[in-house]
Amino acid sequence: MRTPDSATATHCPYCALQCGMNLRPLPGGAGVVVEERADFPVNRGALCGKGRTAPAVLSSRVRLTGPLVRTHATGRLEPATWEEALDAVAEGLARTGRTHGPDAVGVFGGGGLTNEKAYALGKFARVALRTSQIDYNGRFCMSSAAAAHQRAFGLDRGLPFPLEDVPRTGCVILVGSNPAETMPPALRYFTELQANGGTLIVVDPRRTRTADQADLHLAPRPGTDLALALGLLHLVVAEGRTDEEFIAGRTTGWPQARAAAMAHWPELVERITGVPVPKLREAVALFCDPASAMVLTARGPEQQSKGTDTVGAWINLCLATGRAGRPLSGYGCLTGQGNGQGGREHGQKADQLPGYRKLTDPAARAHVAEVWGVDPESLPGPGRSAYELLDALGTEVKALLLMGSNPVVSAPRAAHVEERIRSLDFLAVADVVLSETAALADVVLPVTQWAEETGTTTSLEGRVLLRRRALTPPPGVRTDLDVLHDLATRLGTGKGFPTDPEEVFEELRRASAGGPADYSGISYARIEAENGVFWPCPDEDHAGTPRLFLDRFATEDGRARFAPVTHREAGEVPDAEYPLLLTTGRVVAQYQSGAQTRRVDELNAAAPGPFVELHPRLATRIGAVEGAPLAVVSRRGRAVAPARITDTIRADTVFMPFHWPGEGRANTLTNPALDPVSRMPEFKVCAVRVEPA
Ligand SMILES: Nc1nc2c(c(=O)[nH]1)N[C@H]1C(S)=C(S)[C@@H](COP(=O)(O)OP(=O)(O)OC[C@H]3O[C@@H](n4cnc5c(=O)[nH]c(N)nc54)[C@H](O)[C@@H]3O)O[C@H]1N2
Ligand SMILES: Nc1nc2c(c(=O)[nH]1)N[C@H]1C(S)=C(S)[C@@H](COP(=O)(O)OP(=O)(O)OC[C@H]3O[C@@H](n4cnc5c(=O)[nH]c(N)nc54)[C@H](O)[C@@H]3O)O[C@H]1N2
Ligand code: SF4
Ligand SMILES: [Mo]
């Protein structure tokens, strides 16, 4: 949409809040500046520093401006033409497929890719490469919440209601979510909730800026949220606060879930979590007294080897108290990446086809194969999950095409993953910058960025949005859609890979029609006219669905399913050798692996490097000094970063942000223990020892 004065209305390239912004071109083709876009209701013009400074990454000073190919002569990445680079990628992938079979070729995508790219990438893997080996970084992000959503409600949309409902409910429990750092413009929804007389409970082992604002802060030991949720449910039952009518009318599985909760009495839960019983009782009262309430989770409880069961336990709490499938009540997950929601719906996940269809469902295969003009039999089955795929590199998967992720920094047990990546026969990376992973590639393909291309994203609310191209890309770069088209052409299947995003979206609409995430009624024109459209939207006369489950859940019988979950320990627990817990997360000024934000001066000034947060008591015990280098050692490796001493963290836990490579890389330490259902790695808890370096 062109605004009257020639700025372009679009959305931020980073997180799932997808804040609206206007981009105004500077005179003489000198780039764009970000301006306030007040008409987009979710952020009403507010932006965090990352969004405000996003145009800095468009500068040729920091981005890739032409393809690079590793030469035999020097062993280094050297500038090449697009023809040379694309020929090399097509040949590298095809050669591996010919020699070792199609499943020796892997594809790794990202939740930052637009819907059109995610869709084209999944199709490229299955149709052009015929490989089952595709997965993406969203596996590291919201897969546990997605699995729990599916299990309980029969459908996974992160938030089943728009954010505008938050200020009008009675109480929100925010579990392992730190929007003050991770989605600053969304903080206003919680502030307004409190101004309206509602209460905010924050569950986080650290007293974050978000927790500071809460009416009640529960600080459990990392990895014990499952016990905490069960303990709260125990109290709900013991205090007679269940909603029997709702349980009888709209759920199944309560007797088993109830029995499991009754085994988690408050004193036991206090012992497991470290949260005192009176605080548990206070939380139950705040949650149950008002007429409506919500539970929102983010990566804290989800990035655990029991993340799916943990989210299930929080959903149980909502179901038992009738706080789901009703106005202003429910469970939601705050999805993370720019297209974290849409990226999980259109087929870059190992077990999935577009429209959130299952790759194992014969009817889904037939429908999508017809849209793609291929034989359903030719579609491969489900492949490995993200960590399992990375772990198989160099052995069973010998060539990889990577688009939109930087696993050398962001994958668990990163030194091992880096070593696996180095052992590949062939690696091609499409990126906007020379990330730590791209630097290891045989071929690097430089692609356009958000402001230079058009495409849709689906925000954490399930609202499908349009980003409009606002400026002409530099001559040396191409779009991801161009790359997939050009590669498919070389592999002999160019026809099904259009380069016009709207044409891809029109095909995506047809592929998603009748599926759980049905986009068939959504068009670019509607998105612009309506400031986004909530899926499912099955036809053009359908208004979209801001609120799900009000009449029935998406299960076969329309009832929500309780999960019969009991507490279990994390993959690693402290012992004499590794007596402390490490947890990891984010700071406001850096984004993810830092590939983009570490290239922005203003953000680097605000968050220049890694650190280890620890409690003063622990610091005294081990002789740590503020600002002095501290070594954190786990069974996977050793990382060193300056100490940051603060009483806002539990004394048995240390925290590191994961945005940096090198010596201070938090993921050198993390444990790739996987959740059995979602295959989510345990980023949020492992056992470590800490000593001055
Ligand atoms: N600035 C910034 N913003 C971002 C991103 C970014 O990289 N930088 N990334 C985006 C993406 S992809 C995502 S997924 C979101 C993530 O958004 P959040 O989930 O809010 O971010 P995290 O910092 O990973 O984790 C949130 C909190 O979980 C707490 N925590 C750690 N262990 C546990 C535990 O065992 N239980 C509980 N209850 N809490 C625990 C941490 O102390 C932390 O404060 O942010 C998005 N926004
Ligand atoms: N220890 C620890 N590790 C974590 C987490 C944690 O909490 N703790 N969180 C996990 C989570 S939730 C996530 S989401 C992951 C994220 O980790 P990554 O997957 O590494 O995410 P990004 O750093 O955003 O990497 C995206 C890459 O793609 C590039 N890129 C951006 N846009 C495009 C595009 O349109 N096309 C192409 N081709 N490239 C593009 C960027 O420049 C960047 O290099 O990290 C996970 N790792
Ligand atoms: S909160 Fe997220 S979407 Fe909004 S400006 Fe910041 S990074 Fe961008
Ligand atoms: Mo994420």
User: How remote is the CA of residue 519 from the centroid of ligand 2, in Å?
Assistant: 26
| Collapsed DSSP state (helix, strand, coil) of residue 267 | helix
Instruction: Say if ligand 2 is within 6 A of residue 336 CB.
Output: yes
**For residue 601, what are the contacts with CB-CB under 8 A and spacing of at least 6?**
56
Q: Which ligand places an atom closest to the C-alpha of 52?
A: 3
pLDDT tens for each residue of 450-463: 999 999 999 999 99
Residue 597: CB within 6 Å of ligand 1? no
User: Looking at this protein, which amino acid is placed at residue 238?
Assistant: A
- Residue 668 CB–ligand 1 contact under 6 Å: no
Strand (E) or helix (H) holding 403: strand 399-403
Angle at 531 between CA 27 and CA 195, to 5 degrees: 105
Instruction: Kindly tell me if the per-residue pLDDT of 643 is higher than 70.
Output: yes
**Ligand 2 proximity of 348 Cβ (cutoff 6 Å):** no
134 pLDDT exceeds 80?
yes
Q: Which residues of 129-161 are buried (b: 16+ CB within 10 A; e: fewer)?
A: bbbbbbbbbbbbbbbbbbbbbbbbbbbbbbbbb
Which residue has a Cα nearest atom 20 of ligand 2?
406
User: Which residue is closest in CA terms to ligand 2's atom 6?
Assistant: 585
184 lines ligand 1 (CB under 6 A): no
Distance of CA 533 to the CA centre of its chain: 21
Ligand 3 atom having least distance to the Cα of 43? 4
Distance CA 632, CA 624 (A): 12
Q: What rounded mean pLDDT belongs to the chain?
A: 97
Cα dihedral value 86, 136, 406, 433, nearest 10: 40
The shares of helix, strand and coil residues in the chain, as percent rounded to the nearest 5, are 35, 20, 45
CA distance 31 to 296: 38
Ligand 2 centroid, distance to 597 Cα (angstroms):
11
Q: What is the number of the ligand closest to the CA of 455?
A: 2
Sequence-ordered list of residues with C-beta below 8 angstroms from that of 209, at least 6 positions apart, any chain: 178, 180, 181
Residues above pLDDT 70, as percent of the chain: 99
Helix ranges (DSSP H) in 222-306? 225-238, 244-250, 254-262, 266-273, 277-288, 299-302
Please check the confidence at residue 670 and state whether its pLDDT lies above 90.
Answer: yes
pLDDT at residue number 51: 98
pLDDT at 18: 98
Write down the residue that tokens 């259009």 correspond to: 498
Q: Is 155 or 72 the better-scoring residue by pLDDT?
A: 155
Instruction: Tell whether the model's pLDDT for residue 641 goes beyond 90.
Output: yes
How many angstroms is it from 449 CA to the middle of ligand 1? 25
| Distance of CA 365 from the midpoint of ligand 1 (Å) | 35
Residue 92, token pair as written in the block = 């590298």
pLDDT digits (tens, 9 = 90+) for 571-614: 999 999 999 999 999 999 999 999 999 999 999 999 999 999 99
Q: Which residues on neighbouring strands pair with residue 687, listed in sequence order?
A: 581
**Residue found by looking up tokens 């095909």 in the block:** 507
With cut-offs at 50, 70 and 90, classify the pLDDT of residue 567: very high
Ligand 1 center from residue 268 Cα (angstroms): 27
pLDDT at 338 over 60: yes
Inter-residue contact 579 to 651 (CB < 8 Å):
no
Return the best residue to mutate from 48, 463, 659 for the ligand 3 pocket (most ligand atoms within 8 A of CB): 48
Runs of H (alpha helix) within 263-358: 266-273, 277-288, 299-302, 307-320
Structure tokens at 363: 């009817």
Measured from the Cα of 15, ligand 3's closest atom is 2
CA dist list (Å): 281 to 207, 233, 271, 278, 546: 20, 11, 15, 5, 33
CA of 141 to the centre of ligand 4 (A): 4
* Residue 432 in contact with ligand 2 by CB distance below 6 A: yes
Q: Quick one: pLDDT at residue 148?
A: 98
**Atom 23 in ligand 2: residue holding the nearest Cα:** 593
How confident is the model over 141-154, as pLDDT tens digits?
999 999 999 999 99
Instruction: Tell whether ligand 3 has an atom less than 6 A from the beta carbon of residue 450.
Output: no
Q: Which atom of ligand 3 is nearest to the CA of 13?
A: 8
Answer yes or no: is pLDDT of 552 > 90. Answer: yes
| Any ligand 2 atom below 6 A from CB of 592 | yes
pLDDT, tens only, 495-550? 999 999 999 999 999 999 999 999 999 999 999 999 999 999 999 999 999 999 99
Q: Which residues contact 328 (CB under 8 A, 6 or more apart)?
A: 161, 165, 168, 169, 170, 292, 294
- Which residues lie closer than 8 Å to 341 by C-beta, 6 or more apart? 16, 157, 158, 335, 458, 459, 460, 462
Query: Which pLDDT does position 494 carry in this prediction?
Result: 80
pLDDT digits (tens, 9 = 90+) for 255-281: 999 999 999 999 999 999 999 999 999
For 43, list phi and psi in degrees, rounded to 5: -110, -10
DSSP string, 625-675: -TTSEEEEEETTEEEEEEEEE-TTB-TTEEEEE----GGG-GGGT-EEEE-
CA of 365 to the centre of ligand 2 (A): 29
Hey, whose CA ends up nearest to atom 47 of ligand 2?
410
Which ligand 3 atom minimizes the distance to the CA of 11?
Answer: 3
Rounded CA-CA distance 453/473 in Å is 8
* Among the listed residues 391, 428, 174, 305, the one whose alpha carbon sits nearest the alpha carbon of residue 677: 305
Atom of ligand 1 nearest to the CA of 584: 31
Q: How far is the CA of 297 from the centre of ligand 2 (A)?
A: 20
Task: Judge if the beta carbon of residue 657 lies within 6 A of ligand 1.
Answer: no
d(CA 12, CA 22) in angstroms, rounded, equals: 9
- Give the residue among 352, 320, 329 at the shortest CA–CA distance from 146: 352
Cα-only R_g, the chain? 24
In the chain, the domains with their CATH numbers are: 68-138+339-534 (3.40.50.740), 159-334 (3.40.228.10), 580-692 (2.40.40.20)
Residue partners of 72: CB distance under 8 A and separation at least 6: none
CA distances from 615 to 110, 160, 622, 634, 643 (A): 35, 38, 11, 19, 10
Question: Does 51 contact ligand 3 (Cβ within 6 A)?
Answer: yes
Instruction: Concatenate the DSSP letters of all residues of 181-216 into one string.
Output: HH-GGGHHHHHHHHHTT-EEEEE-SB--HHHHTSSE
Ligand 2 pocket, residue 181 CB under 6 Å: no
User: From CA 164, how far away is CA 185, in angstroms rounded?
Assistant: 13
Cα torsion for 43, 46, 49, 55, to the nearest 10°? Answer: 80
CA distances from 368 to 109, 117, 120, 409, 499 (A): 20, 17, 13, 35, 20
pTM recorded for the entire structure = 0.98
Residue 596 Cβ contacting ligand 2 at under 6 Å: yes
Residue 4 pLDDT exceeds 50? no
Match 């429910």 to its residue by tokens.
Answer: 330
Please report the pLDDT score of residue 31 as a whole number.
87
Query: How much is the pLDDT for 1?
Result: 54
Q: Is 313 in the pocket of ligand 2 (CB under 6 A)?
A: no
Ligand 2 mean position, distance from CA 435 (Å): 10
- Mean pLDDT of all residues in 553-565: 98
Best residue among 14, 139, 189, 204 to mutate for probing ligand 1, ranked by most atoms within 8 Å of CB: 204
**pLDDT given for residue 28 in this prediction:** 81
